[in-house]
Amino acid sequence: MSDIITNPHSRRSFLRQGAYCLALPFLNSVAHAAPKTAALKRLIFLGGGYGFTDSGREGGKSFFPSKAGRFSAIGLTEGLKALERHQDDFTIVSNLTNLGVRNPHGGSGGYLNCGSFREHEDGVSCDQLAARTIGKENRFASLVLTAREPIPGQGSGHGTGYSLSADNRGRSIPGIPTPLRLYRTLFAQKGDSPEQLLERLDNKQSILDLVRVDGGSVKRTLSKEDQIKLDEYFTSVRDIELGLERQEKWANVPKSKAPFDTPPAELSGEKEIRLMLDMLILALQSDMTRVASYRLPVCSLINSLDISLSPHTLSHYGFSDDRRAASEKRDHKLMELFAWFIDRLKETKDLDDRRLYDTCIVSYGSNLRAGHGLQSLPALLTGGGADRIKHGRHIILPKEDTSLANYWLTILQQCGVNTQKFHYSDGEVSELLV
């Protein structure tokens, strides 16, 4: 699969010979996407659970760099060694804190929408805000990917949310939880003909017709609390209608044929992550979507590393050398996967024969620094899609507890979202820009 996608000679060969059907629907999809005149931007958010391993004691190994500067000068910590071949192509920002999150056991809940803070009571996440601008013409405005977690009683560090993404009301959006589900979402299946799809859409529209009521006349007779509930109901109905409108728009554009067989349902751990990210790259390369979030699995990854601890137990590594070693092993595997994802972005050819990496902005992070620490959370950034962000350095912001909302605002602006404020932000992160 990878050679067909990334090797320009193989790609041109199968396009000439017509031996594969993969590229033709991709090009068909592109024809219905936004005009090529605009600079192509793609935005990807990856989220972990319990952060990474901090030093915590004199001489202890840490994932986090202690000095600011270019990695070529200050070197990489042990936890970042897997990224050495990309040291000029990623950035770490320190002293960011999600001021809207106060629950140390909430994990990644509120990560992309900054939780609740003062006048801001939840609200839309930054990926969904970006999807309204850079994703509005694609088959999928955004892809929301998640994991089959938390496993009851194991505490994955992701809180109780469905995904990293949140709707206008600040509610976690249900995500695609398995490679099999993502495969069926992206690629053509039996029963996906335009006629059958339109028939199913008509049935859904009929159901919506049954649940509509005259909101104006009913609302006047309700208490304030019930009026709020009714508003939420109509917002939900409208969200469904918009989704149906998008599906109807794309009903006559056939989905791509899958470039590989249906994945097994029982995939987990590292294999699950690699396949989810590989399919995400296909979706980006074919311009099915330009925005994605992925709540990475934690429990299954730890299990696949032969670590017999739950994620929550592992987060309390401070008093045990064995637990610390296991935590560092998890850090290494996560960064090994992140480095592999950067490899894939760099080797994948984009629509205009550039690297996919050059149009992407990729964020990797968590609400938690390490264990249950909420301050100076991990914030890694890569991709060449932001013209004013130059990588290869560790930035220590001069103000401790700089708002995470400032970071999201800066990234949103760099990907083409015209906004001067994101929730409780009070400015861009100027140190990130050149």
| Same-domain status, 156 and 178 | yes
| Same-domain status, 354 and 221 | no
* pLDDT values of the chain reduced to their tens digit, one per residue, 434 residues: 444 344 444 433 333 333 233 333 343 444 444 444 457 899 999 998 788 998 765 445 689 999 999 999 999 999 999 999 999 999 999 999 999 888 877 777 789 999 875 555 568 999 999 999 999 889 899 999 998 865 554 566 666 668 999 988 888 888 999 999 999 888 876 655 555 555 554 555 554 454 555 555 555 666 766 665 556 555 555 565 555 555 556 556 677 788 888 998 888 899 999 999 999 999 999 999 999 999 999 888 998 899 988 888 888 888 788 999 999 999 999 999 999 999 999 999 987 788 999 999 999 999 889 888 889 999 999 999 999 999 999 999 999 999 999 999 999 999 999 999 999 899 999 999 98
- Residue 392 has what pLDDT? 98
- Residue 208 has what pLDDT? 46
| Same-domain status, 128 and 213 | no
Q: What are phi and psi of 319, to 5 degrees?
A: -105, 10
Whether 1 maps to a domain, the answer reads: no
Whether 84 maps to a domain, the answer reads: yes
Q: What is the CATH number of the domain that holds 135?
A: 3.40.720
| Same-domain status, 402 and 365 | yes
| Same-domain status, 358 and 238 | no
Whether 6 maps to a domain, the answer reads: no
* Domain span including residue 237: 193-253
Whether 25 maps to a domain, the answer reads: no
| Same-domain status, 274 and 247 | no
Whether 18 maps to a domain, the answer reads: no
State which of 232, 253, 274 marks the end of a domain.
253
| Same-domain status, 268 and 413 | yes
| Same-domain status, 174 and 198 | no
- Residue 40 has what pLDDT? 87
CA distances from 268 to 146, 152, 178, 312, 329 (A): 12, 17, 9, 19, 18
| Same-domain status, 220 and 275 | no
Whether 55 maps to a domain, the answer reads: yes
| Same-domain status, 270 and 183 | yes
State which of 221, 253, 285 marks the end of a domain.
253
The number of domains in the chain is 2
| Same-domain status, 163 and 231 | no
Whether 359 maps to a domain, the answer reads: yes
| Same-domain status, 180 and 203 | no
Whether 266 maps to a domain, the answer reads: yes
- Residue 316 has what pLDDT? 85
Parallel/antiparallel/unpaired status of strands 393-396 and 90-94: parallel
State which of 253, 276, 293 marks the end of a domain.
253
- Residue 244 has what pLDDT? 52
Contact between residue 263 and residue 179 where contact means Cβ atoms under 8 Å apart: yes
